[in-house]
Amino acid sequence: MDIGAKVIDIIAEQAILDPGDVTLESTLDSLGIDSMGLVESIFAIEEAFDIHVPFNANDPSDSEFNISSVSSIISGIEKLVAEKS
Amino acid sequence: MNRVAVTGSGTINSLGHSVKETLANMAEGLCGIRPLFLRDVDRLDIKIGGQVKDFDPTTVFNRQQLALYDRVTQFTLIAAKEAIKQSGIIFSGELAAKSGVVLGTAGGGVSTWDDNYRAVYEEGKNRVHPFVVPKLMNNAAASHVSMEYNLKGPSFTVSTACASSNHAMAQAFQMVRSGLSDVMVTGGSESMLCFGGVKAWEGLRVMSKDACRPFSANRNGMVQGEGAAIFVFENFDKAKKRGAKILAEVVGYAMSSDASDIVMPSKQGAARAIKGALNDARLNPEDVKYINAHGTGTAANDKTECAAVADVFGRHADSLMLSSTKSMHGHLIGGTGAVELLACIMAVKDGIIAPTIGYEEADPECALDVVPNQAREIEVDVALSNAFAFGGLNAVLAVRSV
């Protein structure tokens, strides 16, 4: 499974949605994921890819990690996975 | 209804091993937050904390005591000794039968859990020390204080996360005010600065890696601390009669529950607790000159707390001082309200307002006088101490100069 699909699976599970309903353009807000859901999603992503996501819940928009949309999250993860290997 | 005096105080925390040292360092705006020294610190993302320094328990306690005293109990007993000695009270007879100890802690003996989980999981041992349970239980510290000082009245431990100490002190206050007890020992303690204790907090992603900067626009989270502060609450008239030195008067309290979210604070819940404390103490908002803020240094707390203070105090919010001493001693979680009550007593007794250090940039959402970086000398009659816990449980205390 590619990284994008896996990330979408994780986000869909958090949002209690079908992965088909999560698009690249979706924002976490539009999916109904709140700050706690976001922290849980980041945790699940870190576990799935064995990476560390630089993310501070105090001000998510100020973190080095861009969470403005599903596609920005996926590209951030792809970069972190690439850096790892 | 009896008036309630504070006739003893004691502490150990990252700013000092006594009240005198702690208050002197608060007045200096000193920072007790430093690199953490603990096992496996290299596996932590968060490597700073308000750790008690230069502390060797073997110089204070004997081997038998250490087998029973988790670090949190050690801190509690050290602070209790200072407080009870200052009060000059020796508990015996009828006084002992009615005097108790009510303490707050969120985690109890966290390092005992940590050490023994390591032993059985990591090291694969199948046997632990016989006193693991009495060492880690949340009421261990309160029980040891009761045994050490012969306190035979109502005694228990309150656990409401970051508001534990304030809830505990509110209980003790109520008991003395109502006449149930003439003297109560109260306060709180915490010692979570071990690998598991810090790792658990890391999980929430709200911890700062560099500093606790409450109310500053560039703040980036909270920093844990550890230690204890203990007080003697006493029937005011009886304290006066025996010629005790009265440090301050506790005049009221309130508790509230947000009933909304397990981690996000609520402005309404906080405001109800602040307003409730004013009502209970029969104070007008204008009477309050200083508030020791909950001020964790997280975006969620600081904005909500400032909004709640603005709501309750209206225009007077602009003329009162609100500082967070967590910037210096870190967040002692269940013990934090107790250490912070020391700052309130310093305000009403000595006229010194402890600052919010690390303040670098104004935040329009926290546009109150947060006493940035430098202590201030100003006479204060009434001070409040705020505590707003995870779980939405709030407790606010009011103290007055005597």
Q: What is the pLDDT of residues B321-378, one digit of tens each?
A: 999 999 999 999 999 999 999 999 999 999 999 999 999 999 999 999 999 999 999 9
Nearest by CB: B299 against A36, A55, A59: A59
Distance (Å) from the alpha carbon of B322 to chain A's nearest alpha carbon = 21
Domains identified in chain B and CATH numbers? 4-241 (3.40.47.10), 252-400 (3.40.47.10)
- In the residue annotation, B129 being an active-site residue is answered as no
| Average of per-residue pLDDT across A62-75 | 89
> Lowest mean pLDDT: which of A51-55, B51-55, B121-125, B160-164?
A51-55
Q: Is the pLDDT of residue B154 over 80?
A: yes
pLDDT of residue B292: 98
Determine the average pLDDT of the residues in A58-74: 86
Tens-digit pLDDT profile for residues B230-275: 999 999 999 999 999 999 999 999 999 999 999 999 999 999 999 9
DSSP per-residue string spanning B289-358 = EEEE----S-HHHHHHHHHHHHHHHGGGGGGSEEE-THHHH-B-GGGHHHHHHHHHHHHHHH-EEPPBTT
CA atoms within 13 A on the CB side of A63: 22
Using CA coordinates, name the residue in chain B closest to A46.
B203
- Smallest CA–CA distance from A59 into chain B, residue: B299
At A61 the pLDDT is 72
Is A59 in the B-facing interface, judged by CB distances under 8 Å? yes
The CATH number of the domain where A43 resides is what? Answer: 1.10.1200.10
ipTM of this complex = 0.81
Indicate the average pLDDT of chain A: 91
B329 is catalytic: no
Inter-chain contact A56–B203, Cβ cutoff 8 Å? no
For residue A58, pLDDT over 90 is answered with no
Rounded distance, CA B122 to CA B120, Å?
Answer: 6
Give the pLDDT band (50/70/90) at residue A27.
very high
Q: Does B217 touch chain A (CB under 8 A)?
A: no
Contact B206/A57, CB-based, under 8 Å?
A: yes
Local confidence band at A1 (pLDDT 50, 70, 90 cut-offs): low
Judge whether B203 is closer than 8 Å to chain A, CB to CB: yes
List chain A residues with CB under 8 Å of B300.
58
CA distance B319 to B374: 17
pLDDT digits (tens, 9 = 90+) for B81-136: 999 999 999 999 999 999 999 999 999 999 999 999 999 999 999 999 999 999 99
Q: How many domains does chain A have?
A: 1
Identity of residue B228: A
Query: Domain limits at A45?
Result: 3-84
Q: What is the pLDDT of residue A64?
A: 79
**Site from A35, A42, A56, A67 to mutate, B interface, most B CB atoms within 10 angstroms:** A56
Residue B387, H or E segment: strand B382-388
What is the tens place of the pLDDT at every residue in B20-75? 999 999 999 999 999 999 999 999 999 999 999 999 999 999 999 999 999 999 99
For chains A and B, CB pairs below 8 A equal 26
The single residue of B144, B167, B294, B329 carrying the catalytic annotation is: B294
A51 reaches B (C-beta below 8 A)? no
CB B140 within 8 A of CB B74: no
- B398 forms bridges with which residues in the sheet? B252, B384
Mutate to test the interface with A, among B205, B213, B216, B222 (most CBs of A within 10 A): B205
> Angle B20-B345-B358 (CA atoms, 0-180°, nearest 5)?
75
Catalytic: B316?
no
pLDDT for residue A59: 78
Of B122, B134, B149, the C-alpha closest to B67 is: B134
- Over pLDDT 90: what percentage of chain A? 75
Residue A56 and residue B298: Cβ atoms within 8 Å? no
Question: Which pTM was predicted?
Answer: 0.95
